[in-house]
Every structure is written in structure tokens, then in C-alpha cells.
Structure 1
Amino acid sequence: MAGTIETRGIAAAGACAAGRPAAGPAMPPPARFAGYAAIFGEVDLSGDRIEPGAFAASLIGRRAGDVRMLWQHDPARPIGRWIAIAEDRTGLRVTGAFALDTAGGREAAALAAAGAIDGLSIGFRTKLARRDAGGAKRRLVTIDLWEISLVTFPMQERARLTLLA
């Protein structure tokens, strides 16, 4: 539906909230990270495939910081800001910084540093999609990008982050 914001994360059946990480690490976690929020041509767990160039119109005239960085697609939980967002041959390449002066940003950074979370996922509105010949899959041709989240379970297996020193 054109007016619906879609997200690309999956919920774990029966999952429960994890406890908070231990307070007071000796060294603060890295504040910056990079990765791919979406991979072109890869079918995600919902059957969608994002076409190269799908984000181009959405990114024109928009600063990276205008796209929200959220925790698990929750608009009430911003955890940092995007420094760079661009399409390349592989997909939607992103560089971000955790807001370490907030509890949510510190928690996200600590969990990423511990290797407990490394998934990235997009929240978007579909502007143009086409069905594959079999009709089972949707090819996302034009996407209006709203947010990119750190998630436990990304819809695309290779949509992951790497911490930067």
C-alpha cells in the first residue's frame, strides 16, 4: 500500500526482552559503524527484492541525518544519527554514529561491541514495485526511505554493520 511505512525486520516468536548490559565498561564502545542497510538483487525473507537505484530519488536533496536511526524500528527509540547514506554496486551503504550521550545509544553501542546485535533494516514506503513473472516476488523499483534500524533479525541476511575504530 502506498501510504504504509514498511519495515524489514522479523520478530522472534516467543522472544523476551533481554536484560540491560552491565554498567560501567572500562573502555567506551566504538561510537561509529558502517555497513549495508539493504543489498540489491537479494530476495529477503518476505520475498521482496530491491532493485539497483531504488533509493536514488529518495536520497536526492536529503542529508543522511534526515533519515532516522532507530532501535528495532521503534520511532520512540532513536539511538544515533546517520553520517553517510549512498547507493553503490552492492546496495545501500551506510555510516552511522551512536548517540553515546543517551541511554539508548550507549546500550546499542554496547550490544554491537559485544556482538549481540549487528543487523540493519530499512523502514520505507514503496513508490513503485513490480511483480516477477511468477507473481510470487515483488521487485522494489522506487523506495522512499524513512528510517534505518539496528535490529536483531534483519530480513536480508547480509544487511549487517561493522564497528569502526
Structure 2
Amino acid sequence: MVVAETIAGVGAFKTMFDMAKALKEMDAANTRNMAVMDLQDRILAAQAAYSTLTHRISELEAQVKSFETWEAEKKRYELRKFPPGILIYRLKPGMENGEPPHEICADCYQKGTKSLLHNLGESEGLTYWKCHTCGFDKSTGHYLAVTCRPE
């Protein structure tokens, strides 16, 4: 009986040892799983940051292209001063590229926008201009006094 009890006792110790080993492996697995989850979180954060940065790079590339296009476009115009001191950009002769002669707003030009000035007509020596982008609304020229002639 002592042999059987000894074997049973050894078997119990073996079972406890296996349980302890399983608990240790379970703790190691939990630690590993926590490390894997932390790593996955960091990978997802890095992917989100990468996505944000690639989107921003695309935006900046588009902005650079727009600046380059505007730099080429604005060379087609020259600043002119119309009486009584109104500044307007006018298309340079020979730079039409299929467009009719026209004027653009100096204020919008300075902000990097090509905004056509609309000639609203002429009256008594004045030309009336309007920019529908910024609200520029001025007249140029010299007012011609209308004299009354006796009949």
C-alpha cells in the first residue's frame, strides 16, 4: 500500500507540477497576447498616421501645382493704372492663348485668383467695372461735364 500511496503521491505532485507549468504557460501566453495586442494597436495607429500623411501630401502636391499654374498664368498680365488711379491687370498683347482681351481684378490677383473684371458700360467718359469675386466696384476715366447749349 505504501508503494501505491507513494505512486499516487508522486502522481499528485506530477499533476500539480503540470498544472503549475500550464499556469506558467498561460501567464506567458497572456503576456504574449497583451504584447501582440499592444503591437496591433501601434500598427493601427501607424497606419492611420500614414493615411493622414499621404492625404496631406496629396493636398500639398495639388497646392504646389496650383501655385505653379498661377505663377505661369499671372505672367500673362500687366498692371495698369487707369484714371483716377485705379489699378487693374490687363492681358498683355500676344498672350491671349485663344482668349479675348480682358482685364482682371488687382485685389484678386494679389490673392492668387484670376477674377475677370466686368465692364458694366461707359457713360460720360467713365467706364464702370465690377468684380463678382471680391466686390470691387469702381469707375475709371475722366468725367465729361455735359454743357447745356442754348437753342
TM-score (norm 1): 0.21
- Which of the pair has more CA radius of gyration? 2
Greater percentage in helix = 2
Q: Which has the higher contact order (CA 8 A, sep 6+)?
A: 1
Q: Which has the higher strand share?
A: 1
